[in-house]
Structure 1
Amino acid sequence: MTLHLTSHALCPYVQRASISMTEKGVAFERTDIDLANKPDWFLAISPLGKTPVLTDNDQSIFESSAILEYLEETQPHPLHPSDPLLRAQHRGWIEFGSSVLNDIAGFYGTKDKDVFEAKVETLRAKFSQLETQLGEGPYFEGSAFSLVDAVFGPVFRYFDVFDQIGDFGILTDKPKVQSWRAALTARPSVQSAVSADYPELLWAFLLKRQSHLSGLMMDRPGGEAGL
């Protein structure tokens, strides 16, 4: 075993790499670190101080997009389409997925109600774009699981907790998106990308943000106690 993934328990970008390697049937080790107390050895291999970092035979790669491409080039069972045009389009949708994650961070992080509501509208609009892009499924490109699916599995995982807080209508009236979400939720590689206590960890993380969403959580019966 030569692949080692340096991780954070809640990082959606780490989950991408984990899902990719699991789908490829590649053995790897994983070490979670505390990003609030980064060890020196981690800072030595992560110039941006972020997870994930993939180490292969003592050589390290940082940034999830670079890691995914490296895995595609060096490991079996490609998750990118073979057609160059379709492959380039998928790379674009992967970046779209990253922009959705940025909006999700704004959604759960802002203290301002107006900004919060603006983020809700932005997320609704982006998932409406996805609704028009999706076909018959069950995955992004039909029956084949791709890296776009590996990116959106962690995206949808957030909503498993958000749905416990309130109905924000972000995924409402989007049957193709909902079906895609269900297919990814059931995928073993997506399930195994996080620990069993992920929902509780995410709940605690969101509460600590002291954001507008945190206030809605506190208003929920037993909100401080968690799920």
Structure 2
Amino acid sequence: MTDARPRLRLISHKLCPYVQRAAIALAEKKIPFERVDIDLAEKPGWFLDISPLGKVPVLLVDDTPIFESAVILEYIEDTLAPALHPRDPLERARHRSWIEFGSAQLNLIAGLYNAPDRKAFQDKADALSLGFARLEGVLGEGPYFAGETFSLVDAVYGPVFRYFDTFDAIGEFGIFTGLEKVTRWREALAERASVREAVSGEYPERLRAFLIGRGSYISTLLKANAELA
């Protein structure tokens, strides 16, 4: 008997949080896939042929490309068990809403590490803190977004929180101050095997090098931190 399951190849960049979402979801479903990392600074021609937006992730299902992480997550959810979305339509829609909120938090993180000066940096840090405070208001007792059940929302926020492992080594910016539920959620996701293994062991150093190369306020903090080490 042959396996009718399609061949899955996840076209990736080593630092991309949107790629990590798909990798986490596939790992949670115990679905084998091949991960193909590319250099986004020198995109190969074959990649541009399958990615109209020139972005990762792209999921190749046999030879059919699917692009945009939200669409990839929905395809994975629609075709592969076990379910990581709630069955109830309203609750499922609520989860999708908080997934979109996670994307907005990622945009703020990009603004944080690209901020040119201390004021701009603090403005983004404050906006991030406000966003996480909103999450604090909807979280239950955990350990995950939906209580004991790991969901696609968790697959999205694992990569969001991962950035702060590096940021926390630089200094205390008050982003999670007073947010006990969010902090517990972050800790639970950091311990989850699928979240840990969505990046390579080189990820922390690669991220630091990327941030230093931004020429931003956080770059100066990282350089100063390295000199003190």
TM (norm. structure 2) is 0.96
2:217 aligns with 212
Instruction: Give the one of 37, 40, 63 matched to 2:42.
Output: 37
Q: Aligned pair in 2 of structure 1 residues 89, 20: CA closer, same or farther (>3 Å)? A: same
What is the Cα deviation at residue 114 of structure 1? 2.2
2:52 aligns with 47
Give identity over the alignment, percent. Answer: 59
Unaligned runs of at least 5 residues, structure 1: none
Instruction: Give the one of 19, 25, 28 matched to 1:23.
Output: 28
2:173 aligns with 168
- Say which is worse superposed, 97-106 or 125-134, in terms of deviation: 125-134
Say yes or no: does 1:130 pair with 2:130: no
1:7 aligns with 12
2:160 aligns with 155
Instruction: Give the one of 120, 126, 133 matched to 1:121.
Output: 126
1:91 aligns with 96
Structure 2: how far apart are the matches of 1:222 and 1:9?
26
Structure 2: how far apart are the matches of 1:99 and 1:112?
21
Q: Aligned pair in 2 of structure 1 residues 221, 54: CA closer, same or farther (>3 Å)? A: closer
Say yes or no: does 1:142 pair with 2:147: yes
1:193 aligns with 198
Say yes or no: does 1:81 pair with 2:83: no
Over residues 163-216 of structure 1, what are the superposed CA-to-partner deviations in whole Å (9 max), with x where a residue is unaligned? 001100101111101100010000000011000110000000000001011111
Over residues 33-53 of structure 1, what are the superposed CA-to-partner deviations in whole Å (9 max), with x where a residue is unaligned? 000000000000111100000
What is the Cα deviation at residue 221 of structure 1? 4.3
Runs of 4+ that moved beyond 4 A: none
Structure 2: how far apart are the matches of 1:59 and 1:124?
40
